[in-house]
C-alpha cells in the first residue's frame, strides 16, 4: 500500500462508497443499452437471468460482504419468493400485484426469523444452520405434492410478453435495489453493519445494537432474494424446487467473491461475468462449477477484494486492511 494511498481521503468510507456507487450506475447505464445490440430472445433471456443473479448477489453481499454473516441460503430465499407468488396464484388466484409484494414480505419475515435463530452463531456454525434451513425448505417444497405439486413445479402468469420489457423491469429493480443499498450503506445503519462485520463484540461494546442490526440485514437480504425469485418465476413462468439448489447458492457466492465482496459494483460485475461465462461453458460439458470453484479458490487466495477491488486500485495482497 503506497503512502499516497493511505493518506488519501478517498479511503474514507463515504468516498469509497460514492466511487463504488458511481461505477455501478455507469455499469447499469451500459446495460440499459444492451437491447440495442442484443436482439435475439435467447441472448436477451441470458442477460435477464444474469440480472436476476446480480440481484441475488447484491442481496447475499449485504449479509456476507457488509455484515459478515456467511449465509448459505440465498437461493432458498429466491425459491421461497418464487413459490410465494406462485402459490398465491395457484391456490387463491391472487394477481401478481399482490403476489410479488407478498414474496418480498414473506421472505423478509422468514429472513428475520432465521436471523434470530442464527444470532449467536458465527462462521461455519452460521453457514451450516442456514444450509440446513435451505435444504429443509427445498425438500419440504419438493415433497408437499398436494400443496406445491412437488418437482413438477407450478406455472406462474407472466408480467409481459416482451423480453425487452422484462429486461428493463429487471434492470429497474436492480437500479432501485442498488440505490436503496447505497443510501443504507451511507447512513449510520451501513456504518453499524460494517462495524459488526469487523468485530461484533467491539460494536456491541460501543453501544451498537448488534442483535437488531444483524436481523435487519438478514430480513433485507432475504427480501431482495425473495423479490428476485418472484420476478424470475414470472419471467420463466415456471417455479420448481431446483431454484433452491445449493449449486445456485454456489454460483451466487462465486459471483460475489470474483466480483468483489463488500462492494456495490463487484456483485453485479461478478454476476454478469460468471453467468455469461457459464452459458459459454455449456458447450464444453458440465464443467461450470469446477471452473468457478477453482476461480473462487484463486480469488480467495490471491485477490481477496475481487475484480472491483483490483479495478478500483484497492488491491492489497497482504495488508490486513482489505480482507473480505
Partner 1 sequence: MSLLRTEGLQKHFGGISAVDDCSIAVEPGEILGLIGPNGSGKTSLLNILSGFLAPDAGSVWLGDEAVTGMTPVQLANRGLLRMFQMTRVFTRISAVDNMLTAGLARGLSEAEAERRCETLLDELTLSQVRYLDAGALSGGQKKLLEFGMCFIAPPKIALLDEPFAAVHPVMREAMAGFIRRRHGEGQTFILVSHDMPIIVDLCPRSVCMNAGRVIAQGATRTVLESPAVIEAYLGSSVGSSAHV
Contact residues for partner 1, defined by CB under 8 A: 1, 6-13, 188, 191-192, 194-195, 197-199, 201-210, 262, 319-323
Least separation in angstroms between CB 14 and partner 1: 8
Least separation in angstroms between CB 119 and partner 1: 13
Least separation in angstroms between CB 262 and partner 1: 8
- Measured CA to CA, the distance from residue 305 to residue 202 in angstroms comes to 24
Least separation in angstroms between CB 279 and partner 1: 34
Nearest CB to partner 1, comparing residues 162 and 321: 321
How many whole angstroms from its chain centre is CA 211?
Answer: 22
Q: Using alpha carbons only, what angle is made at residue 100 by residues 163 and 257, rounded to the nearest 5 degrees?
A: 75
Nearest CB to partner 1, comparing residues 159 and 194: 194
Least separation in angstroms between CB 316 and partner 1: 9
Residue 296 in grid coordinates: 473462487
Nearest CB to partner 1, comparing residues 134 and 195: 195
CA quadruple 259, 265, 267, 270: dihedral, nearest 10: -40
Nearest CB to partner 1, comparing residues 3 and 30: 3
Nearest CB to partner 1, comparing residues 164 and 194: 194
Least separation in angstroms between CB 190 and partner 1: 10
Q: CA separation (Å) from 28 to 51, 173, 271, 273, 307?
A: 10, 11, 13, 14, 17
Q: What is the 3-state secondary structure (H, E, C) of 242-290?
A: HHHCHHHHHHHHHHHHHHCCCCCHHHHHHHHHHHHHHHHHHHHCCCHHH
Q: Give the residue among 254, 298, 246 at the shortest CA–CA distance from 274.
A: 254
Least separation in angstroms between CB 261 and partner 1: 11
- Measured CA to CA, the distance from residue 132 to residue 136 in angstroms comes to 6
Least separation in angstroms between CB 59 and partner 1: 21
Nearest CB to partner 1, comparing residues 210 and 217: 210
Q: Give the residue among 229, 261, 247 at the shortest CA–CA distance from 289.
A: 247
CA quadruple 184, 272, 175, 72: dihedral, nearest 10: -40
Nearest CB to partner 1, comparing residues 5 and 139: 5
Least separation in angstroms between CB 195 and partner 1: 5
154 burial class (0-12, 13-18, 19+ CB within 10 angstroms)?
buried
Amino acid at each position: 500500500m503506497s503512502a499516497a494511498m493511505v493518506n488519501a481521503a478517498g479511503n474514507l468510507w463515504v468516498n469509497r462508497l460514492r466511487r463504488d456507487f458511481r461505477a455501478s450506475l455507469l455499469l447499469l447505464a451500459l446495460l440499459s443499452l444492451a437491447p440495442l445490440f442484443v436482439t435475439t430472445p435467447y441472448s436477451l433471456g441470458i442477460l435477464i437471468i444474469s440480472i436476476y443473479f446480480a440481484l441475488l448477489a447484491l442481496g447475499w453481499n449485504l449479509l456476507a460482504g457488509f455484515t459478515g454473516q456467511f449465509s448459505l441460503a440465498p437461493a432458498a430465499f429466491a425459491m421461497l419468493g418464487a413459490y410465494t407468488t406462485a402459490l398465491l396464484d395457484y391456490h387463491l388466484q391472487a394477481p401478481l400485484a399482490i403476489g410479488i409484494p407478498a414474496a418480498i414480505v414473506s421472505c423478509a419475515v422468514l429472513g428475520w426469523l432465521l436471523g434470530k435463530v442464527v444470532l449467536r452463531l458465527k462462521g461455519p456454525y452460521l453457514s451450516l444452520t442456514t444450509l440446513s434451513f435451505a435444504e429443509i425448505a427445498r425438500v419440504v417444497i419438493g415433497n408437499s405434492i398436494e400443496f406445491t405439486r412437488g418437482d413438477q413445479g407450478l406455472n406462474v402468469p407472466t408480467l409481459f410478453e416482451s423480453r425487452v420489457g422484462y429486461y428493463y423491469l429487471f434492470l429497474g429493480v436492480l437500479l432501485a435495489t442498488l440505490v436503496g443499498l447505497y443510501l443504507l450503506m451511507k447512513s449510520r445503519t451501513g456504518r453499524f453493519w460494517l462495524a459488526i462485520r469487523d468485530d461484533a463484540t467491539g460494536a456491541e461494546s460501543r453501544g451498537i445494537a448488534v442483535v437488531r442490526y444483524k436481523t435487519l440485514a438478514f430480513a433485507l437480504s432475504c427480501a431482495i432474494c425473495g423479490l428476485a425469485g418472484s420476478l424470475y418465476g414470472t419471467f420463466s413462468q415456471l417455479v420448481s424446487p431446483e431454484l433452491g439448489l445449493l449449486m445456485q447458492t454456489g454460483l451466487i457466492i462465486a459471483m460475489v467473491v470474483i466480483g468483489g465482496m463488500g462492494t456495490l459494483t463487484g456483485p453485479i460485475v461478478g454476476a454478469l461475468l460468471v453467468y455469461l461465462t457459464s452459458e459459454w461453458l455449456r458447450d464444453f460439458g458440465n464443467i461450470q462449477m469446477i471452473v468457478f470453484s477453482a476461480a473462487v479458490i484463486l480469488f480467495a487466495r490471491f485477490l481477496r477484494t475481487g475484480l472491483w477491488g483490483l479495478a478500483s486500485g484497492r488491491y492489497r495482497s497482504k495488508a490486513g486492511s482489505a480482507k473480505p
